Structure 1
Amino acid sequence: MNKASDFIELTLPAKADYVGVVRLTISGVANRMGFSFDEIEDIKIAVSEACTNAVNHAYKGAEEGQIRIGCGVYDNRLEIMVVDRGKSFDYDTLNQLGPVNGKSIDQLNEGGLGLFLIESLMDKVEISGDEGVIVMMTKYLHRDEVEENVDRTSPAPTQ
């Protein structure tokens, strides 16, 4: 397994006010790595959903909690971990319920669409929930595909 060239970690209060800080940080890291604009937007949305789920569901009432975000920067991918130590949820049950399963948007379970969105925007998603919830998201850098085709010219059109 490749060793991360850099590891970045943030610990923030589990409050909606700080989700933007996470988005900006992740956006800067992804931009520095060479992800495209669209890929960066996908990463920001996925990370926002994971953080928002932690803010809204992890801690009960007056309980003050924290969200920890870790980023492993590799040559070919960005791994992002969003961790809370709040109440766990049964991911398998939630995942079996949908999220869409022929239901209209207003019939969806709260949180189900966010997890579906995260899974559709990232290349790999792992979720565990033993003591709190850990969402591990991976986005691969497809730089090689671009570099392979950069020096090629398109064939001249034939008539």
Structure 2
Amino acid sequence: MNDKPLDLVNLMIPAKPDYVGIARLAVSGIANRMGFSYDDIEDLKLAVSEACTNAVDHAYCGGEGEIEVNCNIFTNRIQIEVIDRGNSFNVEEVEKRTGPIKMGRSMNAIRERGLGLYLIKSLMDHVDIKGDNGVIVKMTKYIRKDVVEPHVETSTSFPTNG
């Protein structure tokens, strides 16, 4: 995966909850232009939103800071980097805390256990996280061409009353 991107779109937003939607909207527009399916665009939006929200909540702890969102556009995939220069964390330590969700826990308690990272990894094709002098979350999603969505039935599967 060392080939050069066709285009690069950089976005810098304040590390505040109000601006996470801008990153999500930008990625959605880029993915739509690239030809991603509706479901894959929704996955991309959610993954970017989670990565940005993690940076807002944990990197700067409500203080001042910025989040950089880089979209590397390739012919067959998009590679998105969400970068903060705030508090780093131990990825292995957070991943150890993730696991089955116990009912009765608050959403904040679930988020603290690393559910956001688990969600990002389940939505994207490849995820790489580096926690050194801030955090870089690198996410890759491939374009799936000529794939029929599993929940879509073809016209030949309907019975005819002819």
Bin for the TM-score computed over the shorter chain: 0.7 to 0.9
How far did 1:145 drift?
Answer: 4.9
Instruction: For structure 2, list consecutive stretches of 5 or more residues without a partner in the other structure.
Output: 149-155, 157-162
Runs of 4+ in 1 over 4 A off after TM superposition: none
Instruction: For structure 1, list consecutive stretches of 5 or more residues without a partner in the other structure.
Output: 147-153, 155-159
How far did 1:108 drift?
Answer: 3.0
Conserved? CA contact 2:97–2:113, under 8 Å? no
Q: Distance in 2 between matches of 1:38 and 1:13?
A: 28
Q: Per-residue displacement from partner, 1:66-110 (whole Å, max 9, x unpaired)?
A: 000000000010000000000011110110112x33533535351
Per the alignment, residue 38 of structure 1 pairs with: 39
Kindly tell me: are residues 18 and 109 of structure 1, through their superposed partners in 2, closer, same or farther at Cα, counting changes over 3 Å? closer
- Residue 94 (1) aligns with residue 94 (2): yes
Kindly tell me: are residues 71 and 95 of structure 1, through their superposed partners in 2, closer, same or farther at Cα, counting changes over 3 Å? same
Structure 2 SS opposite 1:143: coil
How far did 1:142 drift?
Answer: 1.2
Q: Distance in 1 between matches of 2:11 and 2:23?
A: 8
Per the alignment, residue 151 of structure 1 pairs with: none
- Residue 125 (1) aligns with residue 127 (2): yes
TM-score (norm 1): 0.85
TM-score (norm 2): 0.83
Q: Distance in 2 between matches of 1:101 and 1:25?
A: 32
How far did 1:60 drift?
Answer: 3.6
- Residue 139 (1) aligns with residue 141 (2): yes
Structure 2 SS opposite 1:89: coil
Conserved? CA contact 1:124–1:139, under 8 Å? yes
Conserved? CA contact 1:49–1:118, under 8 Å? yes
For residue 100 of structure 2, what is the amino acid of its counterpart? Answer: N
Q: Per-residue displacement from partner, 1:13-51 (whole Å, max 9, x unpaired)?
A: 101111111111000000000001111000000000000
For residue 116 of structure 2, what is the amino acid of its counterpart? Answer: G
Per the alignment, residue 20 of structure 2 pairs with: 19
Q: Distance in 2 between matches of 1:10 and 1:73?
A: 14
